[in-house]
Amino acid sequence: MKKKLIKSIKEKKAQLDKLLPHVNKSAVCSELYNKVVIEKAILKKRLDDLNRNKLAEKVIRLFPRKEKLICDYFSS
pLDDT at 76: 55
What's the mean pLDDT in 54-60?
A: 76
Domain count, the chain: 1
CB atoms within 10 A of CB 12: 19
Residue 43's Cβ-side half-sphere holds a number of Cα atoms within 13 Å equal to 19
pLDDT at 58: 76
The set of residues, in sequence order, having a beta carbon less than 8 Å from that of 9 and lying 6+ positions away, is 40, 43, 44, 47
Structural domain including 43 reads 2-73
pLDDT (tens digit, 9 = 90+) per residue, 8-53?
A: 999 999 999 999 998 899 899 999 999 999 999 999 999 988 888 7
- Structural contact between residues 20 and 33, judged by C-beta atoms closer than 8 angstroms: yes
Q: pLDDT-derived band of residue 75, with 50, 70 and 90 as boundaries? A: low
The verdict on pTM exceeding 0.75 is no
